Amino acid sequence: MQIIAMFLASFLCFASLTSAHNSAKVGICYGQLGNNLPKPSKSTQLIKNLKAKRVKLYDTNPEILKALQKTNIQVSIMVPNNLITNISTNQTLSNTWVSTNVVPFYPQTMIRYLLVGNEILSNPPNTTWFNLVPAMRKIKYSLKKFGLKKIKVGTPLAMDCLESSFPPSNGTFRSDVKNTLIKPLLSFLNKTKSFFFIDVYPFFPWSSEPKSIDLNYALMNPTNVTYKDPSTNLTYTNLLDQMLDSVYFAMLKLGYPNTRLFIGETGWPNGCDIDQIGGNIYNAATYNRNLIKKLTTKPPLGTPARPGTILPSFIFALYNENQKAGPGTERHFGLLYPNGTSVYETDFSGKAKESEYKPLPKPTNNEPLKGVKIFCVVAEGANRTELAGALGYACGQGNGTCNAIQPGKKCYKPNSLVWHASYAFSSYWSQLRSTGASCYFNGLATQTTKDPSYGSCKFPSVNF
């Protein structure tokens, strides 16, 4: 009886938190790593068209902050990683940063979140890590000094801040940062009533283990596949909830069960390289539409460990960004093409009827490849000057990568920059792919299944 009374009390408490005023808002990440993206004023209009209620910037671009003035869009801005260390020991610098990058735009631009750094624990260990929380304190102090108390200070971390996330109840922060960094961070977030910002992508665990994780479970489609956590008996119906709860259990273990989660980034790629799977328009549209439906449901669904809680969020990203390094998926997270047209339809308000959406192209790359050879060659239109640099780089990596294109060797002829660079890219990639090398070279390279081998010159390939 007592238990029931407690349950009711907490239910009522959640209910009061979920008034219209507090309803979930889905935002968009406005990344700018493209050389072909629309101007801030056009971008602001496109964000409005999506009905996004929030936008996350990875900097404090003044032109963008101005374009967002007098809109109803809440804005999140960011202190760059390379300023963390200096700010952590210098209150004057922190004050100057806030007075330059925040004060002139507030309140006309609805700045609500100030993120210090971006996924810094995903970088190689360095002293910046341990300067993070001191820098956040300095920034918070500066905001208070300028009367900007509405702005929450946080820092987005990736799922690699956990050393275990399965089962969700086993969620544990990494031992190299648990006590020295995460604990002070949680204490700061608690004192300032801020959020733990987590970047969470079910796409990554699924694509690395597509045989053991059901695709529909990762896409949040209705499916019979469920997972029951043996320690808690909580039942999961999708991978996102499972990942979010692993963060919750990790926070619980450090004594902060009430810290609110904010999805700093989530999404699904609408395209990918030949050697990757699952990046396509069908999956991306399905994931993001299911996500919006889940997040905008009233009353809020929360997660199995914290039912009924609001999950504020940012979807990654506004545009496909052609200058993002790494595998092809990285350049295909956009809801929009750089020319502003939709890759697929979405409605961030959650009100659109799915039956009104145009039919989506059927996916063809949801299964791992078998028996296919992939080559890495020079992309169309590659800049000659940059290509010469990339050739030099590729030949300097690995072991004997460019032996075959030396004078007199089998692949020397035709003696052209494009031919030699294509050979070098394929050789580099096939030798070093297992250690994380990609077929990208800043956009100069592309994957192909067409074998460029000619005469006695055999191109190295990646084989599936």
Applying CB under 6 A, the residues found at the interface with ligand NAG are 81-83, 86, 90, 92-93, 96, 120, 123, 126, 128, 163-164, 166, 170, 172, 190, 193, 222-224, 232-233, 258-259, 337, 339, 341, 383, 385-386, 399-400
Query: Are 28 and 55 within 8 A, CB to CB?
Result: yes
Q: How far apart are CA 56 and CA 76, in angstroms?
A: 5
State the nearest-atom distance from the C-beta of 430 to ligand NAG, in Å: 14
Which of 63, 163, 209, 265 is catalytic? The answer is 265
State the nearest-atom distance from the C-beta of 337 to ligand NAG, in Å: 4
Tokens 């910037």, located at residue: 57
**23 vs 187 by CB, closer to ligand NAG:** 187
Q: Is 367 a catalytic residue?
A: no
State the nearest-atom distance from the C-beta of 298 to ligand NAG, in Å: 23
CA angle 81/89/263 to nearest 5° reads 40
Asked whether the CA dihedral 37, 38, 39, 42 is positive or negative, the reply is: negative
Q: Is the peptide bond prior to 62 cis by the omega test (within 30 degrees of 0)?
A: no
Whole-number Cα distances in Å, 165 to 23, 229, 244, 261, 415: 29, 12, 9, 16, 52
State the nearest-atom distance from the C-beta of 92 to ligand NAG, in Å: 4
At residue 403, φ and ψ (nearest 5 deg) are -55, -45
Position closest to ligand NAG via CB: 164
Query: Are 170 and 231 within 8 A, CB to CB?
Result: yes
Q: Is 265 a catalytic residue?
A: yes
Which of 63, 119, 163, 354 is catalytic? The answer is 119
For 301, residues 6+ apart whose C-beta sits below 8 A from its C-beta are 294, 307, 308
State the nearest-atom distance from the C-beta of 372 to ligand NAG, in Å: 26
Whole-number Cα distances in Å, 16 to 22, 300, 312, 324: 9, 12, 17, 42
**2 vs 399 by CB, closer to ligand NAG:** 399
State the nearest-atom distance from the C-beta of 4 to ligand NAG, in Å: 17
State the nearest-atom distance from the C-beta of 371 to ligand NAG, in Å: 27
- CA-nearest of 190, 167, 186, 314 to 241 is 167
**108 vs 403 by CB, closer to ligand NAG:** 403
For 361, residues 6+ apart whose C-beta sits below 8 A from its C-beta are 280, 281, 282
Number of H helices, E strands in the chain: 13, 16
DSSP letter at 151 equals -
Q: How far is CA 113 from the centre of its chain?
A: 17
Q: How far apart are CA 376 and CA 430, in angstroms?
A: 9
**32 vs 88 by CB, closer to ligand NAG:** 88
- CA-nearest of 31, 33, 70 to 48 is 70
**38 vs 210 by CB, closer to ligand NAG:** 38
State the nearest-atom distance from the C-beta of 144 to ligand NAG, in Å: 17
Counting Cβ atoms within 10 Å, is residue 44 exposed (0-12), middle (13-18) or buried (19+)? buried
**69 vs 90 by CB, closer to ligand NAG:** 90
Q: How far apart are CA 30 and CA 43, in angstroms?
A: 9
- CA-nearest of 173, 281, 265 to 219 is 281
**109 vs 259 by CB, closer to ligand NAG:** 259
**128 vs 207 by CB, closer to ligand NAG:** 128
Q: Which residues are catalytic?
A: 119, 265
